Amino acid sequence: MKNLPMDLLRTFTTINDHGGFTQAGELLGRSQPAISLQVKRLEELLDTQLFNRVGGLKLTEDGHLLYSSARKILDMNDAIVSQLSSPSVSGIVRLGTPNDFEASFIPVLLSQFCKAHPDVTLDVTSDISVNLRESYKKGSYDIVMSMDEYQGHQFAESDYIVEDLSWIADPSFNLNKGQPIPLVLYPEGCLYRKHITQALNKAGIPWRVLYCSSSLLGIQSAIKAGLGISALVLNTIPEIFQTEQTNNHLPELEKVTIGFNYDSNSLSPAATLLLDFLRRGLKHSTDYPSSLQISSATNNSFLSSR
């Protein structure tokens, strides 16, 4: 049985994450020829080609398969090394997270963190981003993960990702074209709500709010019941819902930025550990297996006339 060296996997994932051999070499402290040699060794071990260098550096099909597994292996390795080699850290960390991630990769990440750092107690609250940020300013949280505008956000370079918003509806939902679009929305102040209503107004499409809830479960239940349509970040959409981005006359939605709010000067060692853990998890959120993966099957008729 072959063993895959951890350093080769780290080099491979770093190349893909940062878009090139040179960039990976700078981050890992190796020359470009050394990075190329490591990739060659890994390809020889697996007897496959991992990168397609025609028309730009891209992963092959086997490369994509390896990347997903390599990322999980490295995350597990780093968690074990951190747990066993770092001094024991304890304390309470107050964390705020957006409602949309209540049933996504965040619970998985927090479970992994608690196993790696059993002496750290987490106090986690979910809410819409505007409320989380206001509470953070009042000192209610140590760290807040929130959503902000794609343009004009205040997150540091290493603290955010950009995500697409996608329209969602129950697969059996149908809309009478002669009626305003029924919407299922979070309360006023929600970034999703703002982008949804602005996009429909700009396109001249009439709409009405049929159901409003501050709970992700409430939003999902209303959509599943066929009360209306809404939009969520792509990697939080349950597979029971179809995704409709620009089909059926729906306007394209703006991107959103997801990142972290914190004061580096006041973070405790426990909060710093959690922040670093969540940063890595956010960057690789699509690698976490979840029941919330997007269904490949879409129903293109929900905006057709009944």
In sequence order, what are the residues at sequence separation of 6 or more whose Cβ sits closer than 8 angstroms to the Cβ of residue 165? 192, 195, 231, 232, 233, 234, 253, 254, 255, 256
Buried b (16+ CB within 10 A) or exposed e, 57-95: eebeeebeebbeebbebbbeebbeebeeeeeebeeebbb
Instruction: Compute the distance between CA of residue 57 and CA of residue 42 in angstroms, rounded to an integer.
Output: 17
Tell which CATH classification among 3.30.450.20, 3.30.830.10, 3.40.190.10, 2.30.110.10 matches the domain 165-244: 3.40.190.10
- For the chain (306 residues), the mean pLDDT of every run of 10, in chain order, is 90 88 84 92 94 85 92 86 73 93 82 87 93 94 91 75 88 83 93 94 94 90 92 76 59 90 91 90 60 34 44
pLDDT score, position 286? 53
Planar angle of CA 49, 51, 54, nearest 5 degrees: 110
297 to 172, 225, 306: CA distances (angstroms):
12, 19, 21
| pLDDT (0 to 100) of residue 261 | 92
CATH topology match: 6-85 vs 165-244? no
By C-alpha distance, which of 93, 144, 131 is closest to 268? Answer: 93
Q: Yes or no: say if 105 and 285 are a contact pair by the CB < 8 Å rule.
A: yes
Residue spans per domain, the chain:
6-85, 91-159+258-287, 165-244
Strand bridging mode 242-244 / 256-261: unpaired
Query: Are 214 and 127 in contact, with CB atoms under 8 Å apart?
Result: yes
Dig out the tokens for 125 from the structure: 């609250």
- Return the ∠ at Cα 103 (arms to 97 and 109), rounded to 5°: 65
Please determine, looking at this structure, whether the domain spanning 91-159+258-287 carries the CATH number 3.40.50.300: no
Q: Which pLDDT score is estimated for 239?
A: 65
Tokens of 79: 């968690």
* CA angle (259 as vertex; 254, 264 as ends), nearest 5: 150
61: tokens are 């099909």
Report the DSSP beta bridge partners of residue 260: 145
Q: How many whole angstroms separate alpha carbon 243 and alpha carbon 82?
A: 39
| CATH fold label, 6-85 | Arc Repressor Mutant, subunit A (1.10.10)
CA–CA separation, 106 and 78 (whole Å) = 18
Q: 63 CB contacts (<8 Å, ≥6 apart)? A: 16, 49, 50, 51, 52
Rounded alpha-carbon distances, angstroms, from residue 270 to 106, 273, 279, 283? 17, 5, 14, 20
182: which strand partners?
A: 208
Say if strands 58-59 and 51-52 run parallel, antiparallel, or are unpaired.
antiparallel
Handedness of CA 278, 282, 283, 286 (dihedral sign): positive
CB 13 within 8 A of CB 66: no
Tokens of 233: 């970040």
Whole-number Cα distances in Å, 198 to 137, 181, 191, 204, 255:
28, 13, 11, 10, 13
What the block records as the tokens of 302 is 């929900």
Residue 291 pLDDT: 38
